[in-house]
Amino acid sequence: MTATGKGQGGRQIAFLGTGLMGAPMARRLIGAGFAVTVWNRDPGKAEVLVADGAVRAQTPGDAVSGADVVITMLTNAEAVGKVLFDGGAAEAMPPGATVIDMSSIAPHFARDHAARLAERGIGHVDAPVSGGVVGAEAGTLAIMAGGDEAVIEGLHDVFAPMGRVTRVGPSGSGQLAKLANQQIVAVTIGAVAEAMMLIAAGGGSPAAFRDAIRGGFAESRILDLHGKRMVERQFAPGGSSTNQLKDLNAAMETAEALSLTLPLTAAVHAEFGEFVANGNGEKDHSGLLLHLEEKNGRPGGKR
């Protein structure tokens, strides 16, 4: 396979950003038969995909040359803008190509990127995801898309190996949905963590408590996956607290722009801010439990 070869449906895909989430997503596309060229700022993270059938490019411009679809999965809006516009990717894309930005960035950045790409005859869909590394590996991500309805519909074969796509609305709406998703995730993590502390402080078993309420109204993916992390006290990142805080920052900025008061989001935003400021940014966001325990003088969940 070469960088100019065509895969499933005659499509050539460039995947920019093959980190914790991007690598398994790219593997899903390769496994579905697409020709995929990959690039990452750390070349080693792209090189590991060569054994799966990817072609590794030296630069973003090289990666997107001849691509029909360019997928970005990068850290933040600054990184996306730098790769697309400062790193030469937009200039190297052929007219008629489409960028699918699956990074999590603020909605106004997504709209700005879409407008700048449109001037070059390049389409844009903002399509952030939820589901973590587990969902990326299994191809079960929830994909929230913003952009032209016909363009998104025409990309269903690209989205399908990675998960379930839903168009939320026009440009920026996918990112708005991701912020709302992250609000729910953060507030629910906080609620589960506080409940775990309440049980432990009263002499109960957090593990038994989690089992007892499974299937009831409090059931959720957070209780399932992150509740398990809290019980087992395993906080290696699936989703880092730094990224959770980044999304909460964007949610609060967006709420302010829309003249909204979000007291629950504001409260958990403050707690994540303290947790990250205290040097815990690379812990999983379920590790907020550690921060709340410390605030209550119960490090390790002990009395």
- pLDDT for the residue numbered 3: 42
Alpha carbon separation from 253 to 40, 130, 196, 247 (Å, rounded): 29, 21, 30, 10
- pLDDT for the residue numbered 220: 96
**Hey, is 273 helix, strand or coil?**
helix
Burial group, residue 20, by CB count within 10 angstroms (0-12, 13-18, 19+): middle
Domain-embedded: residue 13: yes
**Is residue 178 annotated as part of the catalytic site, yes or no?**
yes
Domain-embedded: residue 1: no
**Domain region containing 241:** 177-301
Same domain, 232 and 184: yes
- CA atoms within 13 Å, Cβ hemisphere of 295: 13
Residue 232, both tokens: 């087992």
- CA atoms within 13 Å, Cβ hemisphere of 73: 25
Same domain, 158 and 237: no
Same domain, 69 and 125: yes
Domain-embedded: residue 280: yes
Total count of domains within the chain: 2
**Hey, is 18 helix, strand or coil?**
coil
Q: What is the pLDDT along the chain (303 residues), one digit of tens a residue?
A: 334 456 666 799 999 999 999 999 999 999 999 999 999 999 999 999 999 999 999 999 999 999 999 999 998 999 999 999 998 999 999 999 999 999 999 999 999 999 999 999 999 999 999 988 889 999 999 999 999 999 999 999 999 999 999 999 999 999 999 999 999 999 999 999 999 999 999 999 999 999 999 999 999 999 999 999 999 999 998 889 999 999 999 999 999 999 999 999 999 999 999 999 999 999 999 999 999 999 999 877 665
**What's the CATH code of the domain at 232?**
1.10.1040.10
- Active-site choice (6, 45, 82, 178): 178
Domain-embedded: residue 3: no
Same domain, 243 and 151: no
Same domain, 147 and 239: no
Same domain, 110 and 192: no
Same domain, 144 and 161: yes
pTM of the model: 0.86
Same domain, 286 and 187: yes
Q: Which residue has the tokens 């080693």?
A: 44
How many C-beta neighbours within 10 Å does residue 64 have? 34
Whole-number Å distance between alpha carbons of 35 and 52: 11
